[in-house]
């Protein structure tokens, strides 16, 4: 820890304004389940005509299960439109789920009303993607960062102004800037203001929706490092949504990969990077530029996914990825693969996983779409894919499944260094969330 950082941590601790998670009564111990999500769904109705009859629904989040453990960082990645933000809004209860269950500290909060949710609002905070639209331009920084206290009727020790100034210094801003307006700050500084606001009520869980994607690349690392330091100092638990794998890689303990409203793989960070099992994960990882000039030939190993993500209004049958997967067979088209733990710490939803024993070996005939998709996959990848599966089949026969040797490692682990995302798409934060945010964090809906 640098001197400056140590000093900052010391100041924070001495003042006792933002205790570490676990120092206050009733907090979940590190490693235990803080948030549990079961069968979570959000379908946005599509209405038409004068009578506004419902004619369909956008299956934004379509049945996901995961848990977030106290003290960890769960990264969530996936292409634009796969439901990452909707998932973030569901777990912070900014959106009402269509189905499923959300439990926080063992308590069912799925359908809590405004009053029931009030104490929860202090525990779960959100950092929004766009620091330009998420801060109310008419309010001073002091008002913005102090809003959560006013909304929750909390009077911090020493008064709101003193506490806000302390929060500003915790996130590396000058406390003297209390009376300035958002337009006087750069993007990175504005995101620090958003972070200060999110931390005001000493939350247990912080959900950050693409916290750095609107920022200049040179500033991104600073903000990510700040979040990382704060996690260590304050014992925070994070869910960090990103389309940039490099951001997620460096800060996450576990990573969930989403595709069309589903989690297709959920694994410990190192396992996911060393031996990705879902073909989509592998494609996401291979689609990253490789900065090492010695490895420039590795470019040929890129997997270019064919076509766009299908519409979430009528997602493909069976495995949703079967229209773009180079391994898809008939069973992929007809039967949805469940998300199962194939190796300790690695859950995957796939009939023919990479780096693991085939789950449907009897089904060998590729779909036409798979043959077309395979044309876009480098021979090296296909060969490697066949090789790892073969090696595993042998290992299974020898009873060695799960060992490092059996699973092998892939090039993609290395090529994921300093990665950038496959889609690079940037979704503007909605007006709606800017307002929610400007009001000082989550609001009820």
Ligand X SMILES: Nc1ncnc2c1ncn2[C@@H]1O[C@H](COP(=O)(O)OP(=O)(O)OP(=O)(O)O)[C@@H](O)[C@H]1O
Contacts with ligand SF4 by CB under 6 A lie at: 278-279, 319, 321-322, 325, 327-328, 332, 337, 350-352
Give 344-365 as a DSSP string.
TTEEE--SS-TTS--S-TT--P
Q: Which of the choices ligand SF4, Mg ion, ligand X, none does residue 332 contact, using the CB cut-off of 5 to 8 A by kind?
A: ligand SF4
| 213 touching Mg ion, by CB under 5 A | no
Rounded to 10°, the helix 187-199/217-234 angle is 20
- Judged by CB under 6 A, does residue 86 bind ligand X? yes
SS3 content of the chain, % helix, strand, coil (to 5): 40, 20, 45
Distances (CA, A) of 207 to 19, 127, 394: 19, 6, 42
Q: Closest distance between Mg ion and the C-beta of residue 4, in Å?
A: 33
Draw the binding track, 326-365, toward ligand X (x: CB under 6 A; -: no contact).
Answer: ----------------------------------------
Q: Which of residues 68-87 bind Mg ion (CB under 5 A)?
A: 85
Q: What DSSP string runs through 22-90? A: TSSTTPPPTTSEEEEEEEEEEEEEEEETTTTEEEEEEEEEEEEEEEEETT-EEEEE--TTSSHHHHHHH
Sign of the CA dihedral with 334 first, then 338, 343, and 346 last: positive
The answer to whether residue 178 forms part of the interface with ligand X (CB under 6 A) is: no
CB 206 within 8 A of CB 125: yes
**Which strands sit side by side in the sheet containing 107-108, from one edge to the other?**
53-69, 33-48, 99-104, 107-108
DSSP 315-349: PPSSSTTTTT-TT-BHHHHHSPPP-EEEETTEEE-
Binds 425: which of Mg ion, ligand SF4, ligand X, none (CB < 5-8 Å by kind): ligand X
Distance of closest approach, residue 132 Cβ to ligand X, in angstroms? 16
Tokens representing 253 are: 């303990």
Could you tell me the smallest distance in angstroms from the CB atom of residue 29 to ligand X? 31
Q: Does 227 help bind ligand X (rule: CB under 6 A)? A: no
Nearer to Mg ion, 105 or 210 (CB): 210
Site for ligand X in 309-328 (CB under 6 A): 312
Minimal distance in Å, beta carbon 81 to Mg ion?
8
**Strands in 113-176 per DSSP E:** 124-127
Q: Which lies closer to ligand X via its Cβ, residue 310 or residue 408?
A: 310
List the single partner that 337 binds among ligand SF4, Mg ion, ligand X, none, CB under 5 to 8 Å by kind: ligand SF4
Out of 18, 35, 40, 82, point to the residue binding ligand X (CB under 6 A): 82
Measured CA angle at 288 (ends 322, 306), to 5 deg: 30
**Interaction between residue 430 and Mg ion (CB under 5 A):** no
| Binder of ligand X out of 84, 269, 274, 343 (CB under 6 A) | 84
Residue nearest to Mg ion (CB): 85
Comparing CB distances to ligand X, the nearer of 418 and 427 is: 427
CB 120 within 8 Å of CB 93: yes
Q: Which is nearer to Mg ion, 140 or 427 (CB)?
A: 427
Rule CB under 6 A: say whether 83 interacts with ligand X.
yes
Residue 34 binding partner per list Mg ion, ligand X, ligand SF4, none, with a CB distance cut-off of 5 to 8 Å that depends on partner kind: none
Residue 418 touches which of ligand X, Mg ion, ligand SF4, none (Cβ within 5-8 Å per kind): none
Dig out the tokens for 252 from the structure: 């996450």
Q: How far is the CB of 203 from Mg ion (least distance, A)?
A: 21
Q: Which positions touch ligand X (CB under 6 A)?
A: 44, 58, 60, 78, 80-86, 243, 312, 425, 427
């Amino acid at each position: 820890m640098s001197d400056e950082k140590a000093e900052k941590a010391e100041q924070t601790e001495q003042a006792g304004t933002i205790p570490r998670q676990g120092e206050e009564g009733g907090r979940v111990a590190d490693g235990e389940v803080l948030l549990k999500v079961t069968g979570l769904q959000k379908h946005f109705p599509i209405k038409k005509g004068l009578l506004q009859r419902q004619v369909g629904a956008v299956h934004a989040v379509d049945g996901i299960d995961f848990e977030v453990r106290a003290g960890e960082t769960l990264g969530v990645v996936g292409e634009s439109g796969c439901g990452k933000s909707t998932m973030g809004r569901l777990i912070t209860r900014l959106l009402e789920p269509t189905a499923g269950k959300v439990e926080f500290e063992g308590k069912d909060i799925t359908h809590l009303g405004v009053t029931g949710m009030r104490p929860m609002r202090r525990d779960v905070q959100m950092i929004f993607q766009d620091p330009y639209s998420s801060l109310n331009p008419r309010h001073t920084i002091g008002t913005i960062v102090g809003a959560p206290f006013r909304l929750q009727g909390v009077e911090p020790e020493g008064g709101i102004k003193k506490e806000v100034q302390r929060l500003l210094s915790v996130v590396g801003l000058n406390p003297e800037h209390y009376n300035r307006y958002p337009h006087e700050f750069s993007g990175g500084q504005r995101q620090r203001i958003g972070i200060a606001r999110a931390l005001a009520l000493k939350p247990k869980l912080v959900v950050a929706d693409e916290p750095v994607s609107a920022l200049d690349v040179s500033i991104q690392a600073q903000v990510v490092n700040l979040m990382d330091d704060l996690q260590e100092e304050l014992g925070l638990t994070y869910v960090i949504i990103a389309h940039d794998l490099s951001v997620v890689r460096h800060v996450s303990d576990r990573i969930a990969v989403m595709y069309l409203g589903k989690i297709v793989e959920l694994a410990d960070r190192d396992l996911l990077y060393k031996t990705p099992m879902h073909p989509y994960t592998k494609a996401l990882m291979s689609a990253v530029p490789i900065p090492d000039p010695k490895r420039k030939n590795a470019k040929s190993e890129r997997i270019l996914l064919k076509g766009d993500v299908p519409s979430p209004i009528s997602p493909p049958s069976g495995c949703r990825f079967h229209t773009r997967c180079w391994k898809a067979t008939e069973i992929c088209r007809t039967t949805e693969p469940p998300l199962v733990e194939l190796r300790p710490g690695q859950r995957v939803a796939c009939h023919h996983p990479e780096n693991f024993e085939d789950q449907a070996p009897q089904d060998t005939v590729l779909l036409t779409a798979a043959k077309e998709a395979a044309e876009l996959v480098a021979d090296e990848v296909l060969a490697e894919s066949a090789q790892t599966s073969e090696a595993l089949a042998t290992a299974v026969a020898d009873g060695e499944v799960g060992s490092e040797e059996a699973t092998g490692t892939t090039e993609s682990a290395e090529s994921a260094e300093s990665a950038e995302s496959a889609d690079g798409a940037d979704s503007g934060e909605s007006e709606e969330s800017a307002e929610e945010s400007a009001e000082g964090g989550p609001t009820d809906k």
